[in-house]
Each structure stands twice: as structure tokens, then as C-alpha cells.
Amino acid sequence: MLPTSIPNIQRQNLAHTILILKAMGINDLLNFDFMDPPPQQTMITALENLYALSALDDEGLLTRLGRKMSDFLMDPELSKMLIASVDLGCSEEVLTIVAMISGATNVFYRPKDKQAQADAKKAKFQQPEGDHLTLLAVYEGWKNSKFSNPWCHKNWIMDQYKHDIVSCGTNYDRVR
């Protein structure tokens, strides 16, 4: 075991941190005086990721989209998804998906002694387009049940994070 823990900035994805620093006008990040400097390759990977998301231009400067993305306290991929959802007319659905992604590691409860039953219920929500739409199907089912706890238990849905999802409500004005 290490005598001291590794600083968080050296262990995490730096894309959001870099986005915030760029929004503050700090552009020379490779020479920035971090208290605990992250590995240079981690910085470069994060910069490349932000460029791929169109948050940075060819010179590594923040784009208009990148500035909007920096306003969100979440991974840049999720903030771009929220921003794009406005133009695509699906903000409510994307907000729900982002809340569910952010709220729990696994929506489905799967006890060892009842895995077959839990898997059968999960299969009813599965969407061929992918996991994000499966999460949306779970939320829509829960919403249609008027956010019923018994519905969650019947469908093997974890209930520990549900309040956070509902508390997001429909206040997505900031996205616009």
C-alpha cells in the first residue's frame, strides 16, 4: 500500500478540468503550475478528447461550444449531448438519460438467487439501439407507474437513486 494516496488530479479524466481552465483563460496547460501535476500524456489525451468534441479549435483554444460545455458540471461528453439535444428537439429525453447515467452504476437489481427472474424483467426494457435508450425505457415505465416503489421492486429496478432523477424535473432552461 502506498504511504500517501495519489492526488485525484493524477487519477481522473482531466477533460472537464481542462475545459474549466480554458474558460478561465488559462491556455498553456502543459506548463501550468499544478499543485500535483498530472502526467503529460493524460493532459494530451484530454486535450485531444476536447478537440474531438469540438470544444477546442485547431489552435487548442476554446470554441463557442466549448464555452457552453464549460458551464456544466459534468463530463464534456454529457454536456455536449445536452447542448446538441436542444437542436435535435429531445432535451427532455436526454436530460433523463444524463440523470440516470450520473445517478447510478447499475439501474437493475440482480440478486444471486433470482438472476433468471431479474434478467427476464430487464429484457423487457432492452432497446436494440443501445443502453441509453434502455435507460430511457426504464424511466418511462417508472414514470407511467406514477413513480411507484412497488413497480420498481416488481421490475427489479434499484430505487436508491430515483429521487435524484425526479428532482431534475424539466428545468432545462440552462441548456437553451
The boundaries of every CATH 1.10.10.2130 domain in the chain are 8-72
DSSP structure string for 108-162: B---GGGHHHHHHHHHHH--TT-HHHHHHHHHHHHHHTTS-HHHHHHTTB--SSH
What is the per-residue pLDDT across 36-61, written as a single tens digit (0 to 9) for each? 888 989 999 999 999 999 999 999 99
What would the CATH number be for the domain defined by 8-72?
1.10.10.2130
- If pLDDT is split at 50, 70 and 90, which confidence band does 115 have? very high
- What's the Rg (C-alpha) of the chain? 20
Checking if the pLDDT of 104 tops 50, the result is yes
What is the three-class DSSP state of 20? helix
Q: Mean pLDDT across the chain, nearest whole number?
A: 86
State the pLDDT at residue 93.
Answer: 95
Residues present in the chain in total: 176
Task: Report the predicted TM-score, pTM, of the whole model to 2 decimal places.
Answer: 0.77
What is the per-residue pLDDT across 53-101, written as a single tens digit (0 to 9) for each? 999 999 999 999 999 999 999 999 999 999 999 999 999 999 999 988 8
What is the three-class DSSP state of 22? helix
DSSP assignment, residue 19? Answer: H
